[in-house]
Structure 1
Amino acid sequence: MNPQRLFVASCIALLATAMSFAIRGDIMGELELAFGLDKVQLGWISGAAFWGFGLSILFGGTLCDLLGMGRLLKLAAVGHIAGVLLTVFATDFTMLFAATVVIGIANGFVEAGINPLIATLYRQDKTARLVKLHAWFPGGIVVGGVLAFAFTQLGLGWQAKMLLMLVPSAVYAAMFFAQRFPDSERKAAGVSTAAMYGELKRPLFLVVFACMWLTAATELGPGQWVSNIFNEVMHSTLQAGVLLLVWINGIMYALRQFGGGLAHRLSPVTLIAVTAPIAALGLWLFGRADTPVLAFAAAALLAVGTAFWWPTMLGLTSERFPRGGALALAVVGAAGAFSTAVAGPVMGWINNTYGAANVLPLWAVLPVAIALIFGIVHWVDRARGGYRIERVDA
């Protein structure tokens, strides 16, 4: 077993996952025209990957112990390749939706496999390592976004952009091949299945589960729409909205890659509580931006506010509920995926009803709620002696 190779391969698998989101965000306008979609159908397509994502994360948590992390991640590579090809050859809305769900299932298997893998390989440094791993989600958005923009300038269509995903998918499949994978932390410690499910009933876990719906909708929901909104509001003839997506995710990549230690210095709970107001401000200001400079400034605030959320929520889950193992991580990850799937059509409805400029300001209510909830959890922790990491062997 080579932990460093497994870590790098996990990063590339997450890169492939992120590229699927970036490329789909870029080609939404092209798909709208090519398939004759209205805004609500476009929202369903933007959320389709998240339905497959959520279901496969949820079932992947159980499959992780049943099949092993290695088999799960190899299945993910097959799904990525098959989903891309199905998308390229889609002929109508139904086939396009189904192909996007297949890619979502592959994305979910990646998420279900790499999170417990990294938590097991780096038991003494879970949150910081998960933050560093998940730097490659915004990193993949940057890579996919820049390549998609370049392809647009070269006059290449949405099919060529989708085929870009085949490269990282083949690379991570090759890197995982013939590697020995460890048992999950929960399985290695001999924690029973009953004890694993018991973790999901704890009050704090239910709070974390509920909050993942809010954090994911705030972090990932706007990512599917900012390009479209920018192009419409700014009347961008270059279709430069994808560069805004690159800007947001470039900031997030840098913060996750080099700022993972903040979660330990502040505690995961405190980190989310203090960054949520920044995200709310960014969303509100984006809707008021009437120049590209103001739009990019507001987007930077959104990036700073949400940068640590997804991996920190997973780190919080792994540190406070280690007996929940891969299942606890899967349930929380699935909540985030389902939340983002619902966010797609809801934001599409807001767009249809109130206009593109009002979508993100209305969305700002979510991080306000996040700040309040995590502020309360912080004070409860403080009253009990502070944030405490639980050990599976305790």
Structure 2
Amino acid sequence: MQINRTALFRASCLSLLVTSLSFGIRAGIMGDLQSNFHLNATQLGAITATAFWGFPLAVVIGGMIVDIIGMKRLLVMAFIFHLLGILLTIFAGGFWTLFISTLTIGVANGTVEAACNPLVTTLFPESKTTKLNHFHLWFPGGIFIGTLIVLLFTKLGLSWQIQVGTMLIPTLIYGYLFSKLDFPVTERVSSGVSMAGMYKALASPLFIFMFICMCGTAITELYTEQWVPVLLKSIGNPILIVTATSGVMVLGRGLAKPVLKRFAPQGVLLMSATIAAIGLYLLYTSTGNVFVDAIVFGIGVCYFWPTMLGFVNENLPKTGALGLNLMGGAGMLSVSFYTIYMGHYIDRVVAGKLPAGSSLQDAVKAAPGSSLETLYNDAKNVTGIDVLHITSFIPIGLIVAFTGLVIYMRSRNKNAAV
């Protein structure tokens, strides 16, 4: 068996590109979906949330079986789910078809990470966190490309269905590439760590701490990016805000090697939380150049996801593929719950700002240019800013948590050196 780690890494990046395109394009077409299918924020939140709980469902199950069935079979499953989910989205006819198609894509996305995160750490044991950052730069990269597709295709007058259909191209390519390549066994299997040893490592207080922190880092990054087009309609072009944020994240993750060499992963996480909190504050108080604010936020969140995974795999290697995938599952599941909760919150607050006798559904279906539509849009804009304000308290909590992590790791490293 000949393992071509360069080809495997490139194919992995392409599969993650499809995952991120689904986020970027969906972020760009959420307004179209809301207006075309007459969806309120609760319904839109429920549809969006399915991608986030479909992901953890797949990533956790995938983490449990990847050592048994192998990474290649898992990626074949991801290809099938991606193909099915994209086609279902294109031909969606309402709430439930959008719900099912988004769930299917979420399952595909989780299956990709369930296989590719342990694949990357297996292929590059000497530089796990750096290569995870390089791999995960294709997540903001795909969002960047996806939002540009939305902007270009919308300007050309092309439908949202065609925008979604562009994801079929990289899907078919990565499916073909993986079908032709040989795969190694996972790192846990090759190192001889038993299943019992893996589950014992998962009970470590350090893993539990990082598992909880992953919920906060994921919400800060993914919820904000996915909902900015809805939450910040009153400030410039919200799609361009997502594009600016994603662009700086690509650059940051591409420069991960010198950053991680200068600062330990725990130090990078502390700096990230601090800058992300500042970025969110700038976004919800912005009265000037919102793109500068978006860039600050992008710098803050760019290292969160891959560095959290890399920290766990480097410091708790016995947790193996399941440890990586439980972290990813925790992140996406927390975003799902937060999205659903905030969807209800937005509808509740917006309904309270409407004229007496007007229901939320009346406002959603209000005629373009009517006074009710204007009141509804104004209420959503104000509430969107409020949601970002509430979300900003999460990275503030992470600053405290990662300060403790820096102190703990300094003490642990000092004791290990004695």
TM-score in terms of structure 2 length: 0.89
In structure 1, the partner of 2:276 is 279
Using the alignment, how far apart are the partners of 1:217 and 1:387 within structure 2?
34
In structure 2, the partner of 1:245 is 242
In structure 2, the partner of 1:3 is 5
Among residues 228, 236, 248, which one is paired with 1:226 in the alignment?
228
Within the alignment, does 1:259 sit opposite 2:248 as a pair?
A: no
Using the alignment, how far apart are the partners of 1:90 and 1:386 within structure 2?
57
In structure 2, the partner of 1:299 is 294
Q: After superposition, give the CA deviation of every residue in 1:24-57 in whole Å (9 maximum; x if it has no partner).
A: 1111111111221111111111211111111100
Alignment-mate amino acid for residue 207 of structure 1: F
Give 5+ residue unaligned stretches, structure 1: 389-394
Aligned 8 A contact 2:276 2:300 in 1: yes
Using the alignment, how far apart are the partners of 1:290 and 1:157 within structure 2?
33
Aligned 8 A contact 1:141 1:249 in 2: yes
Among residues 370, 373, 380, which one is paired with 2:401 in the alignment?
373
In structure 1, the partner of 2:112 is 110
Among residues 209, 212, 229, which one is paired with 2:211 in the alignment?
209
Q: After superposition, give the CA deviation of every residue in 1:203-255 in whole Å (9 maximum; x if it has no partner).
A: 00000000000000001110111122232x13x6xxx3212111100000001
In structure 2, the partner of 1:81 is 83
1:1-394 paired onto structure 2 within 5 Å? 1-231=3-233, 233-234=234-235, 240-291=237-288, 293=289, 295-352=290-347, 353=349, 355-385=383-413
1:96: Cα distance to partner?
1.0
| SS in structure 2 of the partner of residue 221 of structure 1 | helix
Using the alignment, how far apart are the partners of 1:246 and 1:195 within structure 2?
43
Alignment-mate amino acid for residue 385 of structure 2: A
Aligned 8 A contact 1:128 1:260 in 2: yes
Using the alignment, how far apart are the partners of 1:21 and 1:339 within structure 2?
16
1:63: Cα distance to partner?
2.1
What's the Cα RMSD here?
A: 1.6
Moved more, 207-216 or 335-344: 335-344
Bigger Rg, structure 1 or 2: 2
Moved more, 344-353 or 99-108: 344-353
Aligned 8 A contact 1:268 1:312 in 2: yes
Using the alignment, how far apart are the partners of 1:260 and 1:101 within structure 2?
35
1:350: Cα distance to partner?
4.1
Point out 4+ residue stretches in structure 1 off by more than 6 angstroms: none
TM-score in terms of structure 1 length: 0.94
Q: After superposition, give the CA deviation of every residue in 1:251-286 in whole Å (9 maximum; x if it has no partner).
A: 000010123332243111111112211111111111
Using the alignment, how far apart are the partners of 2:415 and 2:217 within structure 1?
20
